[in-house]
Amino acid sequence: MHWTWLLPFKTHTHTYPLRGGTGGVWHQAESSARWCLFPTASRLKRGWVNTMNPMFHKSFDDVHLLFEILLAGVQFEESGEFSVQDAELASLRKARNLKVICEDIIPRKLSDIFRLIYGLSSQVGPLHQDDFERTMLTLIYTAKQMVNSTNEHQGDMWQGSFVSLYKAIKKDLTGTN
């Protein structure tokens, strides 16, 4: 019997280095070919150089730069535009990459964020580095929206999504619920 018709539904195993681990530590995780936490990452419109896996950080220097950018201040506009408050930091190529990720990849609507939360709650094993980064950026976005909410109900919705994203990140980092 020929089994190739099952391939689109097959679970694939990916091997990648652990976050924060040594160069020789590798981890295997299973991910479904049918499920993607950030579906817009595979359909970017801007001609991104690495359209298969756009990420901001690839080294600890990039992590420090991200922290510096966040400390300097970022703005998420209602129009969907993302900006870095510090002009010098905003002019960096990495900041432009961050802008593409924040404008085109991370979810901005509550319904999309709840879909992400559902996907994270069904996640088996640790998140891949790019999914972890995007989840953190989504957490930052929800924190901004929570603070800028205009009414109590809207604020409660953003607060609930913030708490759920925080719990998903905590679960990923500690390996516990």
pLDDT tens per residue across span 151-177: 999 999 999 999 999 999 999 999 886
On average, the pLDDT of the chain sits at 78
pTM over 0.85: no
Torsion sign across C-alpha atoms 30, 36, 41, 42: positive
pLDDT (0 to 100) of residue 55: 76
22: pLDDT confidence band, cut at 50, 70 and 90? Answer: very low
Distance, CA of 154 to CA of 152 (rounded, Å) = 5
Question: Across 8-12, 59-63, 99-103, 164-168, which has the greatest mean pLDDT?
Answer: 164-168
Question: Across 8-12, 35-39, 56-60, 70-74, which has the greatest mean pLDDT?
Answer: 70-74
CB-based contact 155:146 (threshold 8 Å): yes
pLDDT (0 to 100) of residue 44: 54
pLDDT (0 to 100) of residue 173: 92
- Tell me the pLDDT tens digit for each residue of 43-65: 555 454 444 556 787 889 999 99
Give the CA distances from residue 74 to residues 28, 89, 123, 141, 152, in Å, rounded to whole numbers and listed in that order.
35, 11, 29, 10, 24
Distance, CA of 173 to CA of 132 (rounded, Å) = 10
Give the CA distances from residue 60 to residues 9, 14, 64, 138, 164, in Å, rounded to whole numbers and listed in that order.
36, 23, 6, 20, 27
- Tell me the pLDDT tens digit for each residue of 66-77: 999 999 999 999
Could you give the percent of the chain with pLDDT greater than 70? 71
pLDDT (0 to 100) of residue 76: 92
Residue identified by tokens 């600890």 is: 60
The domain ranges of the chain are 4-174
